[in-house]
Amino acid sequence: MKINEVQPQDNKFTEVLKTIALKPKKLYYRGILPETRIKSVAIVGSRKPTSYGKDIGYKVAHELAQKGIIVISGLALGIDSIAHTGALEAGGQTIAVLGSSIDHIYPRTNLALGKQIENGGGAIISEYPPGVTTYPANFLARNRIVSGLSDAVVVIEAATRSGTLSTAAHALNQGRPVFAVPGNINNPMSAGCNNLIKQGAMPYTELDDILAVIAPDKLEQANLAEVIGDNRQENDVLNLIKQGVNDGEEIIARLKVPVGEFNQTITMLEIKGLVRALGGNKWGLR
C-alpha cells in the first residue's frame, strides 16, 4: 500500500500533536487517517499479559470501537495487538503508531495485523521515514505520539518497571486523562497500574468511566435523563458535566459562583450518588 506523508498541523486529526513536547515534524502513514478530529483512546499494557489482562484489553477496545471511538496503540505484542484486534472485530477504526520506520513493521509477526488495520479503514503511522534504521530508543520515543494523539490513555497491565508507564507519563505531561485497570495486589503485572491509581490515575472499571470524561454525549441517554438534582444549583452543575465540562475550576468560572458554594453543591451531589470524583478536581456522572 502507498506510503503517504503529512505534517501534523496539516491534518485535522493529527494537528493535536502541535501541542506536545518534541512534536514530530512529519508523519508517514499507510491506510486512512481521519479527516476530522474524532474521539480517540490509547490502550497500552504488557507485552506478556495475563489472561485477565487479555480479556480486559479486548473488552475495552471492542466497547470503545462500538461507540465510534478510535483505538490507538503501538502494534506491539500483547495488549497492543489485543487492543487493535478488539477494535477491528467491533467494526471500528484503529491506529497503530510504530517505533520503527513505516516500511518495517516490528514485530514481523504482526505484519498480518498491520494489513488488517490498513484494510479496515485505519492507519499505521510513524515519524520515521522509509529505510531509517530502528533503534531501541525509538519505541520509547513513539509513546509520546501514542498519548499525544489520544483524548485519554488506558493502562491495562504493567509491571513496576515497564516501558508502558512511559506512555502514562507522557499523557500526564500532555494533560491527557490516564486510566488504569486495578489488579490483584499479589500479581507483579498489576503493580504498575495499582501504583498509577495511588498517584492519582483514574481507576477503569467500566466503559462509562472513560465516556464520562471524554465523551459524555455517548453515555446512554436514559442514564443522563435520570440525573436530576434537587435544586437549581445542583442542576446547573449537572448540566455542565453532562456537556463534558468536568473540571471544577471551569465549572466555577462558567457558573460564576463562589468556590465555597460549588464545593458544597458538588459534595451533596457526590453524597447523593449523582456524580463521582475523577481526581484532580474533575467530576463525572455516576
Contact 210, 235 (CB under 8 A): no
pLDDT at 282: 85
Grid cell 490507538 in the structure block, residue: 72
Residue 34, phi-psi category: left (phi > 0), alpha (psi -120 to 50), beta (remainder): beta
Q: Which pLDDT score, from 0 to 100, does residue 255 have?
A: 93
Mean pLDDT by 10 residues, the chain (286 residues): 92 95 95 95 95 95 96 97 97 96 92 95 95 89 97 94 89 94 90 92 92 81 64 89 86 93 92 83 82
- Please give the C-alpha separations between residue 168 and each of 34, 107, 156, in angstroms, as whole numbers: 24, 22, 11
Which domains occur in the chain, in start order?
4-211 (3.40.50.450), 220-285 (1.10.10)
User: pLDDT tens, 74-103?
Assistant: 999 999 999 999 999 999 999 999 999 999
pLDDT score for 280: 78
pLDDT at residue 223 in the model: 56
CB atoms within 10 A of CB 168: 27
CB of 212 within 8 A of CB of 284?
Answer: yes
The model's pTM is 0.79
pLDDT of residue 246: 84
The pLDDT of residue 275 is 87
